[in-house]
Amino acid sequence: MATATVKNSTVELLSKLHKNMNMGKDSTLDLLEKVRDPQLKSDMTQQLNGYEGFLNKINEHLQATGEQAKTESLLTKMSAKVGTTFNTLMDDSPSHIADMMIQGSTMGMTDTTKLLRDYESTDASEATLSLARAIIKFEEENIERMKKHL
């Protein structure tokens, strides 16, 4: 019985981490289309690669449990894309885009910290909790990298 609980807690946390990393990846891709500054583009591409790396790790962990990640609805993805387009319509300057990236990473870091706190008291696997901690550190690094573009 305990194994089922560990699996359930682990799968729940991995699924939520996947959703957050996927949102970060999609938002970064949407914003990259607007970037003309080569250094900002390079920094955002580095961040995008990080999101993709975490998504691969999460998918590996999910597959090990016999599960797979659920994808976001088309409506959710389109809503985010429209929001990004609207937000950059009047100001697509590097500083504004960096600010948007910082806001997104802050939201991702906050959400992941809350998830970590919620699942640390469960029997979610230590590997999954470590992955959440790594994601928090990654988002902190993203924020610091984007600050130089403000």
Query: Residue 6 has what pLDDT?
Result: 56
Residue with tokens 């640390």: 120
- Which residues, at least 6 apart from 6, have a Cβ–Cβ distance to it below 8 Å? 123, 124, 125
**Cα Rg for the chain, rounded, in angstroms?**
16
From CA 81, how far away is CA 14, in angstroms rounded?
24
Q: Two tokens at 15?
A: 């699924």
Query: Residue 27 has what pLDDT?
Result: 94
Residue 40 has pLDDT above 80, yes or no: yes
Q: Which domain holds residue 13?
A: 2-66+73-147
1 or 51: whose pLDDT is higher?
Answer: 51
Overall number of domains in the chain: 1
| pLDDT tens by residue, 104-137 | 999 999 999 999 999 999 999 999 999 999 999 9
| pLDDT tens by residue, 76-110 | 777 777 878 888 888 999 999 999 999 999 999 99
Instruction: Give start and end residues of each alpha helix (H) in the chain.
Output: 2-32, 38-64, 74-89, 94-120, 126-147
Q: What is the CATH number of the domain that holds 81?
A: 1.20.1260.10
Longest Cα separation, the chain? 56
| pLDDT tens by residue, 135-145 | 999 999 999 99
Query: Residue 47 has what pLDDT?
Result: 98
Query: Residue 81 has what pLDDT?
Result: 78
Identity of residue 102: I
Helix axes 2-32, 94-120, angle to 10 degrees: 180
